[in-house]
Structure 1
Amino acid sequence: MKTSVYTLSFVLLTAFTSCKKDVERGQVIELTNTSEVDLVDKPISVDKKLLRPKDGLALYPLVLFNKDTLPSQLNDTDNDGQWDELFFVTNFNPKESKEVRLLWTDQKPLYKMRTSVRFGKRTSADTPVEPATSETMMANELPKSLGYQQYQTDGPSWENDKVGFRHYLDGRNAKDLFGKKTSGISPEDVGLDANGAVVDNYHVMEDWGRDILAVGNSVGLGGYALMTENEFMRLGVTVEDSINNVEKTSFQIVAEGPVKSVLSYTYDHWMPNDRTYSVHETTTIWPGMYGFKNKVAVSGLKGDEYLAVGLVNINTDKELGIFDDNSKYVILYTHDRQTYDKEWWLGMALIVPKDKFIGHTEAPKIGNLSNSYLAKLKISNNQPTSYYAIAGWELSNERFADETYFTDYLKKLARQLSAEINIEIKN
């Protein structure tokens, strides 16, 4: 569905700016790093209401800083069919202010893809997988009841230039990890054979990397459940089940672009016991970070539930590490040879909001939700809670083999996530 593409040429940009006086004026956006922290690939989201897009032609943004064009994209965040967000990433020195100029063109600029989403489905065991951007799965459509796995890589996968992940849409709803050895986007046929059939070929090392994490009956890295003081409630079921505890699961690729990809999940009529919930989840990835952002909102809460965000611990006996010296976030992490067969060093972490964090617990060693450290977060009915899931593999960066380097990265990342950018439209 995607290929890497080149950046807009200087010649093309010169043509735009020399021929169109209205384009020459543009809008100036002043961005100010309000923190004392160096920021790399800091995400910038500008509301459409603040901008003056040209009327008429289907136009595309050009975000210019000095003589450089910053890759950007327009996103429809509220799913109404109209874009409402201009998004790009850029770097800042501490306390730096910079002016970028926003121009508009009717020729679509092409940028190198630094994020991506892959999703494919087959309609029978004998038909090839076809790319898709959305899916609705009912409770009786699990692999064990169908007799085959209908999804490429068991569900959608997403990545940036640092790391990749996948979500078990097949009822398990755990999140798995693809370690990347290159910054390029992994091939579109990961999880498929030459005939387009679903096949597990991603546990073998390739030039781009491979699946490196054993998940089992955990919720993986950044997956979640609900819990009360007496019970863990898994969202979905295990690979051994033929009927889901979620009546309808809906998935959609909301955005896929050079600097941001967004996935959306809705779980209607989830019945883990005698209770009934609905859940909406949004997963976002942008370049430069060894992780992704997840946002979860649950309706139907009784008031005694907590959100339990998972960090699989199948291949480590180490205690969970915790840092709480950041003003906005708490970091929970593990660092060990915790890949398949304990072959490589891997650091994994959750960065969770400090104002919602009330401790952690551990799932049982057996059962339908097991082998996980769980961050315990306060939640309110239908109010979103956001957190980050992070993974540093030694073959992505050899220095991740050192625990101190990994924890220093986590602390620096938390500071970057905490930093606020002031956005001012000057004309």
Structure 2
Amino acid sequence: MFSSNKALTNNKQFATTLTPCLTKASLAMAICFAMFGCSKPINSEQASDTTPIKEVTQPSRVKIAEVDVINPSTFARKDEAIYFSYYDLGIEKPKKNSSIEVLHQEKQLSTQHIDSDYDGVNDGILFLIDLIDNKVNTVTINTVKMNTINEKTGINQPVFKKRVQAEISHKVDGNWLAHTKPAKHLIDKNLQEYQGGKFKNVTQLTPPDYYSDHSNWIRYEGPGIESDKVGYRIYLDWRNGFDIFGKLTEEPILSKIGQDGYESYHHMQPWGMDILKVGGSLGAGGFGLMTDDKNSTLEHISEVKTRQAIIAENGNIQSRVNINYLGWKNSLNTQNLTANISMIAGSRLAKVHLNLEKDLPNITAGVVKHQGSKLIQGNIDISGYQYSYIASWGKQSLDDSMLGMAIFFKKGQLIKTLEDEKNYLVQLKPRGKSGETAVEYYFASVWQPESGIDNEAEFIAYLKQEADKLTRKPRTYLSTALTEQATSTPLKAEGALNWGIALADSELNRKALGYFHNGWDVNRARKPKFEYDIIGLQPYTFDLLADLTGDEKYRQVIEQVTASFITDDGKILAYNKKNFNIDNIPPGRNLLRLYKRTQDEKFRLAATALRQQLTEHPKTSQGAFWHKNKYTNQLWLDGVYMGMPFLAEYAMMFEEGHQQQESLHEVINEFKLTRKYLRDEKSGLYYHGWDESKEQSWANKSTGQSPEFWARGVGWLAMAIVDVLDSIPEKNIDDRKFLIEMVSELADTLAKVQDQTSGAWWQVLDKPNAVGNYKESSATAMFTYFFAKAINNGYLTDDYNNIAQSAFKALINEFTVVHLDGATSMTNQCYVAGLSFGRDGSYGYYMNEPVSVNDPKGTSPYILASIEMYKLLNKN
């Protein structure tokens, strides 16, 4: 529902190393500037606030950040929700006498302080902006400090139109009496109903154990949540169904519903009406557990010791209800489950985030299956991070109008879609650490009188757009006052290195040491595997930083992470040679370093096992390594980096004579075949992959090439060339000549597609102006490393100095965020990309993969680039 630049960790420990342009003094100055307006404040009109204050004063405004927001879609995205954490903005939580305002074209945008991680504490701001086309929308975020305090709230926060609401109300001043019509399945309990009294709104409610449905105690039978489009209610009893209030007004209406009992809202009112018959189904997006028995029975969240509803947020643009199901007894275990259900203004979608105390094989969400309704299923031939949906459409509203309902989910959480007698269902896989798993999905309803959507085709068009919006987030470029202060010093050698050190220290504090065997991969939310980035590239990078700086703390990563996968007899844990996955090879470079340093035989044995994989690894007819055993006949740019630097290093360490020359021949052949089959003669750029059989859905039937020039794919190749050259002997004149010519050729090509304004490179290299394309940081870091190292080693002349320096400045100015504690983060990273089922290599595919923060595939090249820039600037 909203775009986030929040770092992937909540660990905000102090990073001990600051950049030279971010000394403690300059940091303090920057903080002073950002938080307290030490420079002359800019006076402007009084902030809008209708609540009385003690006296009228002029607020002082200080800019804390500027954000460029770009619509990544071909359609308008009205009321797009954008989130930034206080941490990324470089500020503390606003004090009582200050607030945050967000301005676009001198107009104040609706803003709210929210709790994005459900821990009960606000951690950032959410604002709404209309993205009509793909032009840049520059947004300014200011602190507004007042000399007087709002008498009512204690905080000077502008009052925005209330467009969402969450509430719950129950009766007081009446009496509990024996229930006249208790639910049949609970007839044996001492159920009661409430008579007399009046309704009272509360922020928290725990029904007594003698409460059940139709007890006349909770107004409309549970908590309600609404946007300006639609309202929902959740039955706070054994049914746990989700119902719909169709709205004919944009005004909040929950407080008007059910004041005179349960009957009136089942008939048309000026505000709308209850439009769904839930019956014994999940309703409009409820959830349960699908048992794995012969009949695949759906279990509702029925047997619960205690249900507790909490109005967690009731803001103007976002509201949220928490429901705690304490002591939920299902057929597999008894546990506590927490549901966070939220809505944002301008949207019909409700977000459901479920936290499980104990593991379950699935959570099954669904919508009621009414007679005459039609099941609609979205495309699932997509990547795991894209959203799809199941939906129903038909004349299924209680007012006899057309009604559509939908569940939106990430493909990666999908187990299967199915249906039973009462529901259309989707089974979702809980993700996370054991005992801390979670499921997230959205539900929505589209009522004909409110939406104007009259037929199935229009409903499907709506579903596709909503799935696209959930998948493809707005492109945001954040520049904070704190970061600008830190980057204001001219670039020098020590400064370049210290930017890398700052990010390395930040990652050490956040997660770099947590990838040990049986540890936790926070990016992928799973246990670490023996693979290229977290076990290979990142520890290798930290070890190089230790070589240069002499700081032994950076040795921890290779010793505590990579080495933890190697048993005393040289076996590799979490590794299976039979997969013939070339992504498993990069940690081998670390094994070679560990063996050199320790002479421990287990590291040599493990490295030899990886060398044996390459000996047996399947290849194309001319000898190019397949990317994986399951990716038959395919050569990818990524794979060249994954395999060749290790193969060359291993050959020079442990092989001799003919065997060594054969290994080096394989290395050079891989580059020759990559150039032959993946390089586009016209542009000089390289396609992501090549299928020799030309059978893959993504492969050009004439050439076998994938369709686009993915930046990080070319980045892997660029790094592979300069790294392999480290191992090719000077006597291999022809081999080195070929590789150096390849360096020069690629450098000229990359120079042509570098963004001339920023110095960065785009996610799809040759389409900078296409809708959705964005400046991508991991590739920019890789190309910076490539240029700087090539110049340092004499493969390129000093004529390329300006390109290298402008690229490094882009890393700092475009993609680095400085936090208040001195830590730094790297933003705008393509999280992942590949070529396989659901990943067709199209332009749209590369736009739909997530944009991430502080992923090792980006932070490691960033640190490598800083090392090489330090060397380069020391030469000049």
Instruction: Sort the TM-score into its range (normalised by shorter chain).
Output: 0.7 to 0.9
Alpha carbons of 1:376 and 1:81: their partners in 2 closer, same or farther (altered >3 Å)?
closer
Alpha carbons of 1:97 and 1:131: their partners in 2 closer, same or farther (altered >3 Å)?
same
Using the alignment, how far apart are the partners of 2:326 and 2:396 within structure 1?
A: 34
Picking from 96, 101, 105, the partner of 1:62 is 101
Cα drift, residue 33 of structure 1:
3.1
Q: SS at 1:143's partner residue?
A: coil
Picking from 405, 410, 416, the partner of 2:463 is 410
Spell out the pairing of 1:295-310 with structure 2 (5 A cutoff): 295-301=353-359, 305-310=361-366
Residue 206, structure 1, aligned to residue 269, structure 2: yes
Question: What code does the residue aligned with 1:407 have?
Answer: I
Question: What code does the residue aligned with 1:377 have?
Answer: L
Picking from 200, 210, 214, the partner of 1:130 is 200
Show CA shifts across 1:77-97 (max 9, x none).
556664212111112233635
Using the alignment, how far apart are the partners of 2:341 and 2:207 within structure 1?
A: 19
Show CA shifts across 1:316-348 (max 9, x none).
34344333366501121111101126x101111
Picking from 236, 246, 249, the partner of 2:301 is 236
Cα drift, residue 155 of structure 1:
0.5
Question: What code does the residue aligned with 1:204 have?
Answer: H
Higher relative contact order (CA 8 A, sep 6+): 1
2:346 maps to 288
2:143 maps to 103
Using the alignment, how far apart are the partners of 1:208 and 1:325 within structure 2?
A: 41
Percent identity of equivalent pairs: 24
Spell out the pairing of 1:317-356 with structure 2 (5 A cutoff): 317-324=373-380, 327=383, 328-340=386-398, 343-356=400-413
Picking from 333, 336, 342, the partner of 1:278 is 336
Q: SS at 2:83's partner residue?
A: strand
Q: SS at 1:344's partner residue?
A: coil
Show CA shifts across 1:381-422 (max 9, x none).
532221111111110022x12111111011111111112243
Q: SS at 2:374's partner residue?
A: coil
2:212 maps to 143
Picking from 60, 66, 70, the partner of 1:29 is 66
**Uncovered stretches (5+) of structure 2, i.e. residues with no partner:** 1-43, 50-54, 147-155, 176-193, 482-876
Using the alignment, how far apart are the partners of 1:333 and 1:410 within structure 2?
A: 8
TM-score by length of 1: 0.84
Alpha carbons of 1:157 and 1:315: their partners in 2 closer, same or farther (altered >3 Å)?
farther
CA contact (8 A) 2:354 2:439 kept: yes
Spell out the pairing of 1:170-189 with structure 2 (5 A cutoff): 170-186=237-253, 188-189=255-256
Using the alignment, how far apart are the partners of 1:19 and 1:411 within structure 2?
A: 47
Show CA shifts across 1:279-338 (max 9, x none).
111111001212211111223225xx2211011112434344333366501121111101
1:265 maps to 323
Cα drift, residue 357 of structure 1:
1.1
1:94 maps to 134
2:625 maps to none
CA contact (8 A) 2:413 2:430 kept: yes
Using the alignment, how far apart are the partners of 1:331 and 1:79 within structure 2?
A: 25
Residue 115, structure 1, aligned to residue 137, structure 2: no
Q: SS at 2:460's partner residue?
A: helix
1:357 maps to 414
Show CA shifts across 1:187-236 (max 9, x none).
5131112xxxx433211111111110110010111100011321435343
2:279 maps to 216
Cα drift, residue 129 of structure 1:
1.4
Alpha carbons of 1:162 and 1:62: their partners in 2 closer, same or farther (altered >3 Å)?
same
- Give the structure with higher Rg (CA): 2
**Uncovered stretches (5+) of structure 1, i.e. residues with no partner:** 1-9, 238-244, 365-370
Question: What code does the residue aligned with 2:236 have?
Answer: L
CA contact (8 A) 1:330 1:357 kept: no
1:393 maps to 447
Alpha carbons of 1:309 and 1:201: their partners in 2 closer, same or farther (altered >3 Å)?
same
Alpha carbons of 1:78 and 1:295: their partners in 2 closer, same or farther (altered >3 Å)?
closer
Alpha carbons of 1:28 and 1:208: their partners in 2 closer, same or farther (altered >3 Å)?
same
Q: SS at 1:339's partner residue?
A: coil
Question: What code does the residue aligned with 1:287 have?
Answer: A
Cα drift, residue 116 of structure 1:
0.6
Instruction: Name segments (4+ residues, structure 1) moved above 4 Å.
Output: 53-56, 77-82
Alpha carbons of 1:255 and 1:350: their partners in 2 closer, same or farther (altered >3 Å)?
same
2:224 maps to 157
TM-score by length of 2: 0.42
CA contact (8 A) 2:164 2:319 kept: yes
Paired positions, count: 392
CA contact (8 A) 1:33 1:420 kept: no
Structure 1 vs Structure 2 CA RMSD: 2.7
CA contact (8 A) 1:315 1:339 kept: no
1:311 maps to 367
Alpha carbons of 1:130 and 1:55: their partners in 2 closer, same or farther (altered >3 Å)?
closer
2:720 maps to none
CA contact (8 A) 1:73 1:87 kept: yes
1:241 maps to none
1:39 maps to 77
Cα drift, residue 65 of structure 1:
1.2
